[in-house]
Amino acid sequence: MTDFLESFTPGLPEQAVAAAPAPARRVWRHARVATLADTTGWGLIERGAIVTAGARIAWIGPESDLPALGKAAVEEHDLGGALLTPGLVDAHTHLVYGGDRAHEFELRLQGASYEDIARAGGGIRSTVAATRAASEDALFALAAGRLKTLRDGGVTTVEIKSGYGLSFEDEARCLRVARRLGRTGVGVRTTSLAAHALPPEFEGRADDYIAAVCDWLPMWHAQGLVDAVDAFCERIAFSTAQVERVFATAQSLGLPVKLHAEQLSDSGGAELAARFQALSCDHLEYLGAAGIAAMRAAGTVAMLLPGAYHFLRETQLPPVAALREAGVAMAVSTDHNPGTSPTLSLALMIHLACVDFRLTPEEAVRGATVNAARALGLADRGALAVDRRADFAVWDLEHPRELAYWFGHPACRATILGAT
């Protein structure tokens, strides 16, 4: 029997992962499997096994019920009693950018607000300048290092937004980098966030910039660079009327939408996004009852981002209890970005979602698997079941609730990517 630790070593170079030939079938034995396949409960199989065929799960159940597979083209792995969960899904990141904003962190500690810094020319604009100054290869190298850290922490699928180029070519460069990252093994979904902030060359001309974005989107779509469209709907960003123009363009292209909504105020963004059947509304600290009702009716996922809440020392909590009562699915992601959430640990976000937002451990873990996949419109991952992708995270833990309990603890033994 092949030794698991020799076969799947965390940190294996991307080239080696991509080059490894996939056997016709693999058997993963001797694991406590948390399937999350039902609508509630962990779906625990105490001594479970999984059979994979290529990139898909062919069988899952107790090891005692493992069907006879014969010996031809079967590779076996003993997981040594480890916990096996669906691969984590980080459904809200801004991985592609240049520079950092550590000096702004210092300013906030001295009393400056996020809005103060943005209005003084810092914030997103400072990252735009650094991103525009970096070469495409440099941006790829930086983002690839960040992606590797996420993968080593159990992440198998990640959404990557643009939004730090804010010109036709600079946004396209960021989206091309995201597409290149998707060829390194981890599943990548790209999102155009050109409506993130107003670039300096459009100062005072927000409507003109939105018109430009609406002209650019069909070209990026024709180049195969965009899976979804996002916008920042807020008083320091774009109005609901401006966002509606972007969403109408996305809809005409058959692209799903999502929205940075109600982070600093209740702007009505969630209701707008729900009218366009948005995959998710993200942040939501100031989400009101009308927005919750609209999201419920549309089936829109509430994307909770505890990293930004923590980093900005916010005090306005998202309405978790009301979302729970309304039956709105809640996802949890890192929101990795240089200004408000420079974390690369989705496991830490699971912990903060419990401690700060009062999610249960099961809700938080589902938020980073089942519901995060739903927030990307992906029905083939996020849970372990026959015909789902064979994306797994293997943990040196006894029970999945420990993903929320341990923080700052590198518990991920390995990440197994179904596509490799």
- pLDDT given at position 113: 83
Average pLDDT over residues 405-420: 88
Strand partners, 191: 161, 228
- Please, are residues 239 and 170 in contact by the beta-carbon 8 Å criterion? no
Helix, strand, or coil here: 393?
strand
- pLDDT given at position 15: 33
- Please, are residues 403 and 87 in contact by the beta-carbon 8 Å criterion? no
- Distance between CA atoms of residues 375 and 171, nearest Å: 23
Q: What is the pTM of this model?
A: 0.92
Q: Which domains, from first to last, does the chain contain?
A: 2-85+384-416 (2.30.40.10), 89-375 (3.20.20.140)
Give the type of residue at 391.
D
Strand partners, 416: 392
Tens of pLDDT along 158-185?
Answer: 999 999 999 999 999 999 999 999 999 9
Whether 17 has a pLDDT exceeding 60, the answer reads: no
- pLDDT given at position 397: 97
- Split at pLDDT 50, 70, 90, the class of 21 is low
Tens of pLDDT along 180-207?
Answer: 999 999 999 999 999 999 999 999 999 9
Tens of pLDDT along 89-143?
Answer: 999 999 999 999 999 999 889 988 877 887 777 888 899 999 999 999 999 999 9
